[in-house]
Amino acid sequence: MRGATFFAAAAAMLATGSVAAQVDETPPRRIENMGRPVYVAPLLSFTVDDSARRTKVGYGGTLALGTRLLSFAAVEALAYYTKFNDEDDIFVGARTEATGYGGNLLLFPLPGAMRDVFLLAGAAYNDVRNHPLTVDGVVGLADYDSTVYDLGLGYLGAFDLFGNPAALRVEAKYRLDDHGEPDLGDGSDDRFGDVVLSAGFMFPLFYRPPPPPPAPEPIAVVAVADADNDGVLDDVDQCPDTAYGASVDATGCTPAPAPEPVCAPVGDNGEVDLSGCAAGDVVVLRGVTFEFDSARLTADAQTILDGVVAALQAAPEIRVEIGGHTDARGSEAYNQRLSERRAASVRDYLVDHGIDGARLTAVGYGETRPVADNDSEEGREQNRRVELTVM
């Protein structure tokens, strides 16, 4: 029964987290930067106790102090207090109380819209007072200490508090109390299994907003002799009679018109230049590959996408569609899903590296738009591709 309660609560939080993340996929501040260097998380808790305890549900709170080690992991120290209602008011005025001190590891394994869902594993020293016990059929009270182990699922929802980042935190945990005393409770077991549901907030400590960019250094202007104002000094100007202020080359002469910039493909070193791209232009991201039968990017693909990040930052007016394509091996439905996942993986990478998600659209085309013959390995390799289409 306790396990069913835990899984029902965890599933409800996972669904809530998914909907909230889809509403705001590009919050003004990523939560993973909020816990650096330190965060504090006050939580209220509701405990569905093991029936063998001979108590009723418990109420209390938890205070956690932690830090975000990596974008996908955080550690925290915690203290908690729980007060249980006495079953059938056997002992008037002697409520069961539990105080604990321990730590948690939080892991954030999911990408994209589910990136703020976390897994929780923890352990704590547990000090319990006035707990029911049964000795030879007689019910009494006892104090004990034990080790408890927590395993759970939670979600963080970002919001701004007076201009500073904060987060709503909800979690559901299964707590194993390894007390080792078979006389405790109804005397049926030497372990208790409780479900703890918690909700509260997470706030960063010592938060500092990023500093503004430095002002550019002033450029000293030196007066020079330049009669035709073409930027070439008169003593080296080979065409001193050009039109006043005309654009010239290093010799002072009017150069041949420069070619218009073109929409460049990915270069040999992974560089991408979108400065010459217009609506409808397509850049094939050769080298953006994935692990077999997966949407996980390879290391080489991440290097090329770093070049795409630089190109999009250099052309902030450009919006692109990220198109995923597969070869014809496998079913059409499978290839369609795989291409959608791969396009979304590329979009998530670009967003995580500073590109505004509003400029990016991820679309999967499956095997519907081949550019080569699917009967040869070379042709299939060309068909497995990711494209940027300028919108």
Looking at the domain assignment, is residue 231 inside a domain? no
Looking at the domain assignment, is residue 225 inside a domain? no
Structural domain boundaries enclosing 195:
2-17+28-205
Looking at the domain assignment, is residue 58 inside a domain? yes
Least confident of 16-25, 49-58, 187-196, 261-270: 16-25
Which CATH number do you get for residue 383?
3.30.1330.60
Residue 68 pairs in a beta bridge with: 74
191 with 51, same domain? yes
Tokens of 69: 């080690």
Which CATH number do you get for residue 84?
2.40.160.20
* pLDDT interval class at 74 (50, 70, 90): very high
Looking at the domain assignment, is residue 139 inside a domain? yes
> What pLDDT, in 10s, does the model give residues 378-391?
878 887 888 888 88
193 with 295, same domain? no
> What pLDDT, in 10s, does the model give residues 350-379?
889 888 888 888 888 888 888 888 888 887
91 with 201, same domain? yes
What pLDDT does residue 13 have?
53
**Which sign, positive or negative, has the C-alpha torsion 343, 344, 349, 354?**
positive
What pLDDT does residue 98 have?
96
**Which sign, positive or negative, has the C-alpha torsion 343, 341, 154, 23?**
positive
Last residue of a domain, one of 174, 205, 236: 205
Backbone angles phi, psi at 277, to 5 degrees: -90, 140
Looking at the domain assignment, is residue 13 inside a domain? yes
Asked whether 49 and 194 are in contact (CB, 8 A), the reply is: yes
Question: Can you tell me the mean pLDDT for 157-172?
Answer: 88
Residue 321 CA to residue 312 CA, distance in Å, equals 12
199 with 326, same domain? no
Residue 53 CA to residue 133 CA, distance in Å, equals 8
What pLDDT does residue 257 have?
61
How many structural domains does the chain have? 2
What is the residue-averaged pLDDT of the chain? Answer: 81
* pLDDT interval class at 113 (50, 70, 90): confident
What pLDDT does residue 158 have?
86
Last residue of a domain, one of 184, 205, 226: 205
> What pLDDT, in 10s, does the model give residues 167-225?
999 999 999 999 988 888 888 888 999 999 999 999 888 877 667 778 888 776 665 56
180 with 41, same domain? yes
Last residue of a domain, one of 167, 190, 205: 205
Tokens of 341: 């996942």
Q: What is the 3-state secondary structure (H, E, C) of the chain?
A: CHHHHHHHHHHHHHHHHHHHHHHCCCCCCCHHHCCCCEEEEEEEEEEECCHHHCEEEEEEEEEEEEEEEECCEEEEEEEEEEEEEEHHHCCCCCCEEEEEEEEEEEECCCCHHHCCEEEEEEEEEEEEEEEEEEECCEEEEEEEEEEEEEEEEEEEEEEEECCEEEEEEEEEEEEEEECCCCCECCCCCCCEEEEEEEEEEEEEECCCCCCCCCCCCCCCCCCCCCCCCCCCCCCCCCCCCCCCCCCCCCCCCCCCCCCCCCCCCCCCCCCCCCCCCCCCCEEECCCCCECCCCCCECHHHHHHHHHHHHHHHHCCCCCEEEEEECCCCCCHHHHHHHHHHHHHHHHHHHHHCCCCHHHEEEEEEECCCCCCCCCCHHHHHHHCEEEEEEC
What pLDDT does residue 19 have?
39
Looking at the domain assignment, is residue 258 inside a domain? no
Which amino acid would we find at residue 79? A
89 with 179, same domain? yes
Chain Cα centroid distance, residue 154: 14
Question: Can you tell me the mean pLDDT for 259-273?
Answer: 65
183 with 306, same domain? no
**pLDDT above 90 (res 97):** yes
* pLDDT interval class at 5 (50, 70, 90): low
Tokens of 211: 């500093």
